[in-house]
Amino acid sequence: SLEGIVSKRGDAPYVSGRTRTWTKAKCRAGHEVVIGGYVTTEGRFRSLLVGVHRGDNFAYVGRVGTGYGMAKVKGLLPKLQAVETATSPFNGVGAPKKTAGVLWLKPVLVAEIEFAGWTSDGLVRQAAFKALREDKPAAEVEVEKPAPPANAEVVRPAAPTSSKPSRRGDKVDVMGVLISNPDKSLWPDANDSHPVTKEDLARYYEAVGPWLIKHIVGRPCSIIRAPDGIAGEQFFQRHAMPGTSNLLELVTVFGDKKPYLQIDRVEGLAAVAQVGALELHPWNCEPYRPESPGRLVFDLDPGPDVPFSTVVEAARKMRDRLNELGLTSFCKTTGGKGLHVVAPLAVARRNKISWAEAKGFAHDVCQKMARENPDLYLIKMNKNLRNGRIFLDYLRNDRMATAVAPLSPRARPGAPVSMPLTWTEVKADLDPKRFTIRTVPGLLAKSTAWQDYCDGQRPLDQAMKRLSKVKHAA
Ligand code: ATP
Ligand code: MN
């Protein structure tokens, strides 16, 4: 039950104040909330009404009803009274109504709270007040993000959520989120003749969450929902909807008024499992910078009669080409028919690369590969040309284009997973069907795949220069 870990960059001095050289990693999500009101009965302080910033909204996340000793209230009240205001700061779905005894506040005070988890509609459960965080501006409560856990083994505090399945009525608690209909079958089986249930999906996300989250954090992320399982209706959802859990972030991007979904914390994965999200499809932008390409994804799509070993060969060829251009790449199965080759980009503050440049570069690389081996590869989307060949799809590399996230399950028979691989594993006998919701947590624990992903980031402008030199030489 530790509160968290404070760490400092090894070579940085000890300084006071909030700087980038130290971080606080908390054991639980949402420790901090912004106070938007309080409730009194007969003039006596009762509870705080709290929220978090989500996009342009100040969203209500519930009532903090305990934790108020006499001394605490005495210290707290004058600070509340100093920021009282006539109108409610809360907006969006579920904002509380003005009732007797409610006083509204400007959303400027940050409270540290302790709570048992989240309800399925994103309210805090059993929240207790701990203290005011006077060192932290309220505007920062929205940017609080789980620190990317490097490949460290994280010992979870003994919370009832992960140690033993805790059932509450007909619901089950995963990462603090209540999952309804946990026994509902989403896949008939994972090649093992046992149904894969909604609880299995949520627990899969819990198991691989710390690894997966690094690859979707800060990026708008579409989800494919199949609330009645893969045989039922499927929805490709980009935007937030009324009732979207508060554990998900909302991001507004240029050119679209409606906010996009974004998943920045592992608990958000349980929240999307709760609404039947079987697949995660993030943008390929730099985290928190939707206008900047953050990785290139080369999608190798084999025609129907291409043996998988040929796709493997294509991925290795693509790696060598990227390598020659100074780019490091990583391979994953898609959970479907093909393979993805992913090249992380180093994004410079100056010298920004545009989406048009990223897409143009990916096009040129694929075109060159297709021209040199037209019997094997093509870059036109034309389906009937594809027979016997591999379509090199460079179109994942555009603004708003998505690709399935590494470790995302697929809404396809057998509950397959898009599995990150080491290049050694990308060999002729690779069998992508091995990687399922059931097998991947165990395999991932032993794998070193993508461990050096961040070290692999390379600037695209240099690769662009190299490519144009090769072009001119040819
Ligand atoms: P495979 O190896 O089988 O080709 P894949 O992930 O590369 O797997 P698809 O599932 O065909 O390929 O998806 C292609 C892309 O289209 C994905 O990156 C996904 O983000 C996007 N996509 C999938 N479904 C939809 C949809 N209904 N609407 C918009 N985009 C979608
Ligand atoms: Mn594909």
Q: 73-80, long-range: CB within 8 Å, 24+ apart, which pairs? A: 73/45, 76/45, 76/132, 77/45, 79/109, 79/132, 80/35, 80/38, 80/105, 80/109
Beta-carbon contacts of 36 under 8 Å, excluding residues fewer than 6 positions away, are 49, 50, 51, 58, 60, 88, 89, 90, 104, 105, 107
pLDDT-derived band at 430 (thresholds 50, 70, 90) equals very high
Average pLDDT over residues 418-422: 98
Query: Is 412's C-beta closer than 6 angstroms to any atom of ligand 1?
Result: no
What residue owns the CA closest to ligand 1's atom 18? Answer: 403
Give me the pLDDT at residue 6, please. 86
Q: Give the residue, out of 402, 408, 412, 419, with the most ligand 1 atoms within 8 A of its beta carbon, to mutate for a pocket test.
A: 402
* Percentage of the chain lying above the pLDDT 70 cut: 91
**Looking at the predicted structure, is the pLDDT value of residue 413 above 80?**
yes
Rg (CA), the chain: 24
Confidence of residue 77 (pLDDT cuts 50, 70, 90): very high
CA-299 nearest atom, ligand 1: 7
pLDDT band at 166 (very low <50, low <70, confident <90, very high): low
Average pLDDT on 4-20 reads: 82
Is the CB of 404 inside a 6 Å radius of any atom of ligand 1?
Answer: yes
| Distance in angstroms (rounded) separating the CA atoms of residues 2 and 126 | 19
Q: Are 321 and 369 in contact (CB under 8 A)?
A: yes
Query: How many degrees, rounded to 5, is the angle at CA 275 between CA 418 and CA 212?
Result: 30
- Local structure of 282: helix, strand or coil: strand
Using one digit for the tens of pLDDT, what is the confidence trace for 288-315? 999 999 999 999 999 989 999 999 999 9
107 with 35: CB under 8 angstroms?
A: yes
- Residue 283 CA to ligand 1 center (angstroms) comes to 12
3-state secondary structure of 344: strand
- Torsion angle in degrees (nearest 10) through CA of 191, 415, 204, 212: 130
Go through the chain and tell me how many residues it has.
Answer: 474
Q: Is the Cβ atom of 107 under 6 angstroms away from ligand 1?
A: no
- Whole-model pTM? 0.73
Ligand 2 centroid, distance to 298 Cα (angstroms): 9
Query: Quick count: other Cβ atoms within 10 Å of Cβ 288?
Result: 15
Query: Which alpha helices (H) appear in 118-197, and where do they start and end?
Result: 160-163
DSSP-derived letter for residue 385 is G
Query: Which pLDDT value is given to residue 161?
Result: 41
Residue whose CA is at the smallest distance from ligand 1 atom 26: 236
Higher pLDDT, 70 or 188: 188
**Range with top average pLDDT, 28-42, 92-106, 112-126, 377-391:** 92-106
Given a cut of 90, is residue 246 above it in pLDDT? no
